[in-house]
Chain A
Amino acid sequence: MNLSNFESIAYSYPELILMTTAIVIFLADLVVRGEEHLGSVALFGCAFALLAAIGLRVPFSDTWLIRGLLGWGEGWLYSRMVVVDDFAVFFKIIFCLAAFATVWMSLGSNEVRGVNEGEYYGLVLASTVGMLYMASAANLLMAYLSLEFVSLTSYVLTGYMRHNRRSGEAALKYLIYGGVASGTMIYGMSWLYGAAGSLDYAYINAALAQGAINPLTLFIAILLILAGFCYKIASVPFHMWAPDVYTGAPIPITAFLSVGSKAAGFAILIRLFYPGLSQAVGGGGWQFLAGVDWPQLMLVICMVTMILGNLAALNQQNVKRLLAYSSIAHAGYTLMGFVVLNDEGLRAMLFYLVTYYLMNIGAFLVVMIVVNSTGREDIEGFRGLAWRGGAVPAVAMAIFLFSLAGLPPLAGFVGKFYLFAAVVKAQFYLLALVGLANSLVALYYYARIVRTMFLDMPTGTEGVVTLDAHNACLLYFLALPTIVLGVYWAPVIDLADRSVHFFVG
Chain B
Amino acid sequence: MGILTWMTFLPLIGMAVVLCLPSRADELIRRTALAFTLFPLVMGIWLFQHFDRTTSAFQFTQHAPWIESYNINYFVGVDGISVSMVLLTVLLCPICILASWGIDKGIKGYFALFLLLDGAMVGVFVALDFFLFYIFWELMLLPMYFLIGIWGGPRREYAAIKFFLYTLAGSVLILIAMLVLYFQNEPHTFDMIQLMAQGATISTKPVIWGLGLQHLLWLALFIGLAIKIPAFPFHTWLPDAHVEAPTAISVILAGVLLKMGTYGILRVNYGMLPAATTDLAFWFLAALGTWNIVYGALCAMAQKDLKKLVAYSSISHMGYVMLGMSAFTPQGINGAVLQMFNHGTVTAMLFLLVGVIYDRAHHRQIDGFGGLAGIMPVYTGVTALAFFAAMGLPGLSAFISEVLVLLGAWQKYPGLTIVAASAVILTAGYMLWTMQRIYLGAPNEKYLGLPEINARELVTLVPLGVIVVILGVYPHAVLDLINASLLNLNKVVAAAPAAVASLR
Q: Determine if B68 and A490 form an interchain contact, defined as CB atoms under 8 angstroms apart.
A: yes
Q: Determine if A451 and B157 form an interchain contact, defined as CB atoms under 8 angstroms apart.
A: yes
Q: Which of A476-496 contact B (CB under 8 A)?
A: 488-490, 493-494
Nearest Cβ in chain B — how far from A419, in angstroms? 11
Q: Determine if B135 and A440 form an interchain contact, defined as CB atoms under 8 angstroms apart.
A: no
Q: Which of B163-207 contact A (CB under 8 A)?
A: 164-165, 168-169, 172-173, 175-176, 179-180, 182-183
Chain B contacts for A432, CB-based, 8 A: 176, 179
* B280: Cβ under 8 A from any A Cβ: no
Residue in B67, B139, B160, B165 whose beta carbon sits within 8 Å of that of A408 in the complex: B139
* B376: Cβ under 8 A from any A Cβ: no
Nearest Cβ in chain A — how far from B325, in angstroms? 28
Residue in B139, B156, B175, B182 whose beta carbon sits within 8 Å of that of A455 in the complex: B156
Nearest Cβ in chain B — how far from A320, in angstroms? 23
Chain A contacts for B172, CB-based, 8 A: 436-437, 439-440
Q: What count of chain B residues pass the 8 Å CB interface test?
A: 31
Given contacts A440-B172, A455-B160, contact A489 B139 (CB under 8 A): no
* B141: Cβ under 8 A from any A Cβ: yes
Nearest Cβ in chain B — how far from A101, in angstroms? 25
Q: Determine if B161 and A447 form an interchain contact, defined as CB atoms under 8 angstroms apart.
A: yes
Given contacts A420-B176, A425-B183, A447-B161, contact A493 B149 (CB under 8 A): no
Chain B contacts for A493, CB-based, 8 A: 67, 69-70
Q: Which of B242-289 contact A (CB under 8 A)?
A: none
Nearest Cβ in chain A — how far from B274, in angstroms? 22
* B13: Cβ under 8 A from any A Cβ: no
Chain B contacts for A436, CB-based, 8 A: 172-173, 175-176
Residue in A409, A424, A454 whose beta carbon sits within 8 Å of that of B176 in the complex: A424
**How does the 8 Å CB contact mask read for A170-198 relative to B, with 1 for contact and 0 for none?**
00000000000000000000000000000
Residue in B165, B175, B179 whose beta carbon sits within 8 Å of that of A444 in the complex: B165
Q: Determine if B176 and A443 form an interchain contact, defined as CB atoms under 8 angstroms apart.
A: no
CB closest chain-B residue, reference A486? B135
* A155: Cβ under 8 A from any B Cβ: no
CB closest chain-A residue, reference B149? A455
Q: Determine if B176 and A440 form an interchain contact, defined as CB atoms under 8 angstroms apart.
A: no
CA distance A429 to B217 in the complex (A): 12
CB closest chain-A residue, reference B166? A440
* B146: Cβ under 8 A from any A Cβ: yes
CA distance A456 to B160 in the complex (A): 13
Q: Which of A264-299 contact B (CB under 8 A)?
A: none
CA distance A429 to B176 in the complex (A): 9
Q: Determine if B135 and A451 form an interchain contact, defined as CB atoms under 8 angstroms apart.
A: no
Chain B contacts for A488, CB-based, 8 A: 66-67
Q: Determine if A455 and B69 form an interchain contact, defined as CB atoms under 8 angstroms apart.
A: no
* A51: Cβ under 8 A from any B Cβ: no
**How does the 8 Å CB contact mask read for A395-414 relative to B, with 1 for contact and 0 for none?**
00000001000011100010
Taking each of B135, B156, B172, B176, which has the highest tally of chain A beta carbons within 10 Å of its own beta carbon? Answer: B172
Nearest Cβ in chain B — how far from A483, in angstroms? 12
Q: Which of A418-474 contact B (CB under 8 A)?
A: 420-421, 424-425, 429, 432-433, 436-437, 439-440, 443-444, 447, 451, 454-456
Residue in A402, A455, A456, A489 whose beta carbon sits within 8 Å of that of B67 in the complex: A489
* A35: Cβ under 8 A from any B Cβ: no
* A497: Cβ under 8 A from any B Cβ: yes
CB closest chain-A residue, reference B134? A408
* B384: Cβ under 8 A from any A Cβ: no
Chain B contacts for A455, CB-based, 8 A: 149-150, 156-157, 160
Q: Determine if A407 and B176 form an interchain contact, defined as CB atoms under 8 angstroms apart.
A: no
**How does the 8 Å CB contact mask read for B150-163 relative to A, with 1 for contact and 0 for none?**
10000011001100
Chain A contacts for B168, CB-based, 8 A: 407, 439-440, 443
Q: List 22 A-B contacts (CB under 8 A).
A: A407-B141, A407-B168, A408-B134, A408-B135, A409-B135, A409-B138, A417-B175, A420-B179, A421-B179, A421-B182, A429-B176, A432-B176, A432-B179, A433-B176, A436-B173, A437-B172, A440-B165, A440-B168, A443-B164, A447-B164, A454-B146, A454-B150
Beyond the given A444-B161, A455-B150, could you list 10 further A-B residue pairs with CB under 8 A, ordered by the A residue number? A407-B138, A407-B141, A407-B142, A408-B135, A425-B179, A436-B173, A439-B172, A454-B150, A489-B67, A490-B69
Q: Interface of A with B (CB < 8 Å)? A: 402, 407-409, 413, 417, 420-421, 424-425, 429, 432-433, 436-437, 439-440, 443-444, 447, 451, 454-456, 488-490, 493-494, 497
Q: Interface of B with A (CB < 8 Å)? A: 66-70, 134-135, 138-139, 141-142, 145-146, 149-150, 156-157, 160-161, 164-165, 168-169, 172-173, 175-176, 179-180, 182-183
